Amino acid sequence: MSVYLMISHFSKKFKKNNRPSDTVSSISGRSLDNLKTLIEKKTRLFVKAEDCRQLFQSMVLSVDEINKTILIDELFPQPEIKLLADQTLYFESHDNGSTTSFSSTVITDTRSNGLPALLLNLPDVIKLEQRRNNFRLQLRNNQPVSAKLFQNHYDALSGMVKDISNHGLRINLTGNQTDELQHGDILQHCEINLDEMNQIECQLTVRSKRYFSRPYRHTQIGTEITDIKLKHRDLLTHYVTRQQRMQCRQRADSRL
């Protein structure tokens, strides 16, 4: 599959040697090491494109420190909408309790060893976050978090969140919803009420589902957060961290 790019408006920019002109990357040594680790491990990355709701996968193939570029494998699945030159791509991977993330902009499509690939600008920062931000919080009965899931603008499913992290939620839905939801389904708009004062909105992708008949009829789904605004991400991180600390204190108090 080939990824086509509309590049007419910047063709002069890369006419010579197909190299970006006046593009300076200030990537640090640590970020460069993180990038090379992704290459060595052939780490599979989740990719989001600016102004596109699809979720893709790819991997970094090589880095060119002189020309300030990186080469990545073609996006899978193939984008429904043509990628634009200078369009921003957001990358994230999860490995051994840590999350690596960065963003870059498209230069052009190309080939690597005869296979389709994408040439991108070298990112300035490669972030590596430890498991603390990925902590999965088990919610108790006295910590009710409700969810409303919209598959379209009209039909919504309501449920209660059983556990939550910075990257996903496990939700109990009333009744048997196994025919309504399939693995990989994208729930475009979801409202998560963390408490009386705080609500986040995000896009969820269904990763698992299971029906239970006891103690009551319900369907439990595992979901991944595949699109969320930065302010809502920060709100979620703050909530999970705060609740984690509260639970640790309560456990400590119970031992006294």
pLDDT of residue 159: 94
Report the chain's C-alpha Rg in angstroms.
21
The domains of the chain are located at 5-129, 135-248
CATH numeric code, 135-248 = 2.40.10.220
One DSSP character per residue, the chain reads: ----EE-GGGGGGGTTTT--SS------HHHHHHHHHHHHTT--EEEEETT---EEEE-EEEEETTTTEEEEEPPBSPPSSPEETT-EEEEEEEETTEEEEEEEEEEEEEEETTEEEEEEEPPS--EEE-GGGGPPEEPPTTS--EEEEESSSS-EEEEEEEEE-SSEEEEEEES--TTT--TT-EEEEEEEE-SSS-EEEEEEEEEEEEEE-SSS-EEEEEEEEEEE-HHHHHHHHHHHHHHHHHHHHHHHHHH-
pLDDT of residue 255: 59
pLDDT of residue 206: 93
At residue 94's C-alpha, the angle toward residues 139 and 34, to 5°, is 140
CATH topology of domain 5-129: Pnp Oxidase; Chain A (2.30.110)
Tens of pLDDT, residue by residue, the chain (256 residues): 443 333 333 333 333 334 443 434 567 787 888 899 899 999 999 999 988 878 899 999 999 999 999 999 999 998 888 888 999 999 988 776 578 889 999 999 999 999 999 999 999 888 877 554 456 788 877 778 999 998 766 678 999 999 998 889 999 999 999 998 988 899 989 999 998 889 999 999 999 999 999 889 999 999 999 999 989 988 998 898 888 888 777 766 665 5
Cα distances from 151 to residues 31, 157, 183, 187, 249, in angstroms, run 38, 8, 14, 5, 39
pLDDT of residue 246: 81
Q: How far apart are CA 137 and CA 210, in angstroms?
A: 20
pTM: 0.50
